[in-house]
Structure 1
Amino acid sequence: MRSTAHSAAPLRRRTITVLCALLTALALAGLPALPAHAAPIGVTTAYVARANDGTVSVIDTSTGAITATVTVGGYPQSVAVSPNGTRVYVSSALTNVVSVIDASTLTVIATIPVGTIPKDIVLNPAGTTAYVINQSGHSVSVIDTATNTVTATVPGIPGTLQSIALTPDAASAYVPSFNPNTLTVIDTATNAITASAPLGGTPYAVAVNPAGTAAYVALGSNSTIATVATGTNTVTATFAVPTPIGLDFTPDGSQLYAVNGGGNHTVTVIDPATNTITATIPGFDIPSEVRVDSAGSTAYVTNNTSPNGSTPGQLLAIDTATGTLSTTTPAIAGSPRGLGLFTVLPPTVTAISPASGPPTGGTQVTITGTRLADATAVTFGANPATGLSCTATSCTVTAPAGAAGTVDVRVTGPGGTSAITAADRYTYVAAADIDVNLGAQPHLGILVPSLAYTLTAHNTGPDPVTSATLTATLPPGKSATNLAAGCTTAPGTVTCTYGTIASGASTSKTFRLPLNLLSLGQVTVTGTRTTSAPADPDPANDNASATCTVISIVLATCS
């Protein structure tokens, strides 16, 4: 499971500013233009808590448009989205509640009273339980998301609570707090405190790596990040980062993103394997919170342009592959802070069966992969398939017609179109069926009486024949005469080569067997297709025979 981390400046340092800001008129301001962002993977919806005006903005990150605004009130702090994307949970610091938003109707369907000044909120991977830190209540509220009620409260957490993160298995929760500077560990099975690790600076945020082996704690005042081993709950390392106040990992754990406050106004990218900084990304005014989407392709950052939120802020995006920063939304009023994401990932294709068929189409093809249940279209190259029927892991379609060659089979769903991989390849195999015909008749001339044969390659299609070889099997040891162009003979055989034959057309080659070389009685010659291109799909008509009866060296009959 991707660990969840949240960040914001300590509420105790903002109380006066907050109350004043709630009365401040919001003025529009010009915002800097940033480069375009590379196409992200999947379709991501961002939910941004606008603290000063008590709302949550719903943002289509592909267009940057604010598609809806939901009022929750009470200075919203943190946002968490259920794993299936159907519910959005928002903590409000001044009203001491968690609001539950129905993501389909974008309305508040429940308000859950919690402790004093609720801030950070996380959900377990199943989405059945939410954990909310109560900053001044020194506690964590445990919410049953099925009933939207608090089922337990974990009291006795010292200091001012700042953040919360779960291990990937949701067995433990980690809560950093200052005065005293500690990391409190909660057993979620019993909702009891099991350990407390002292920290060497003021903690602002925590994130557990996807492997579940370490909790990373942002110690803003010390400009360091501490790593705490989850097995022993002890600090095992610290490394320098300029005033970190927010953290989040990429889903694969290869990168850790740190929002930097204290006048640094940057985002730092860290390699957790070595605890070294690999990039520092400038271009922020007052960054508040960072979230990496579940595809791992984009890190989103809420960015304020004024300390009291009197001018609009932004949602910025970082391409995790290149470190490129871009603007997702041009302006978000009301001091954007808390951030939740939900990404609908595109389908994947892992296998195609059968992986080939004729250019005429019509082949029933099964596509295996993931996230296929809601597929809306399948294409073979640029051509749409028909007869689409899907489950979560497979689709069946009828292949369209296509030119000979290999194409990628791609599935489109709500999260976009599947990426091109070696596993999605389908080959249109050109096919030309040669129907072999062999005719024979006596050629009873005065000079050299013989049996005359006509070896015909008839192309029944569907594609043109580009080349073919037919072989006639003669009586043992006998050779032919009067060979047509393209035919050769050897004792016991005649081999004829054919060039291009259009679909529906025929090409014939002739040869003769002198009667004086033959024994009296029946003479059978068989014609066989030995090679051809493109492939011949029907071997049943690859052979033909003709039988004649030699009565004397000057007389024969053929049937």
Structure 2
Amino acid sequence: MPISPNQGSTGGGTPVTITGTNLSGTTAVRFGSKPATNVTNVSPTQVTALSPSGAGSVGVTVTTPGGTSNPIPFFYVSAPFKSSLGPTSGTLAGGNTVTINGVGLATATGVSFGANTATPTVVSDTQLTVTVPAGAAAGPVGVSVTTAGGTNNGLSYTYVDAPTVTAVVPASGPASGGTGVTITGTNLDSTESVTFDGNPAPFSVVNSTTVSAVTPPGTVGAVDVVVANPAGSDTAGGAYTYVAGPGI
């Protein structure tokens, strides 16, 4: 007489289906000493019920007018605990792989990123990986993991859209570099790099529309300014001009 699933949350409430023979007229289903709720006699070979709360391994029995069955094992599983995930951000289109660490992850069946759910790959009881689904909009979303023991929230993942650059001010400076510039645009709060003619520039994020940078040394003439984040990059062609110093 099998039971499916054969494990569930310590808090109870797991729907189970018990199959066997001579189940007509079932009057009770017990998980150990505790009665199940919502017991439904579907057919002479099938009964459904909701598990009560419990812990560890218990025997499940079915009682009919003909007597009580032998027990079949059911395992109570605690809700998962998540300690970390990485990376913590990625493109709005999704598709990148995130690793989640914690305990009680062996029975994970789903990982939700906001309203969107993906099926994870269980590595071990302490780790799983999952391909991030596409997001609805840029910004942070809660991450929850669902296992046989329940659902646990508490982690956050940030969807990032590709940046755009609308202005670089001032638009020129000495070829020796060292000029402080303000770059404005959109989706700049997750900026990972700023380059002038391919040369990396020190930068700091002000907000989602502004980044401050210091020009590196460069070659006289107009150069491209490129801002990149985890979702991509944007090139402002010829947006900054290196100017030669005076000669005497």
TM-score band w.r.t. shorter chain: 0.3 to 0.5
TM-score with structure 2 length normalisation? 0.42
Structure with the higher strand share, 1 or 2? 2
Return the index of the structure with the highest Cα Rg: 1
Structure with the higher helix share, 1 or 2? 1
Higher RCO (C-alpha under 8 Å, 6+ residues apart): 2
TM-score with structure 1 length normalisation? 0.22
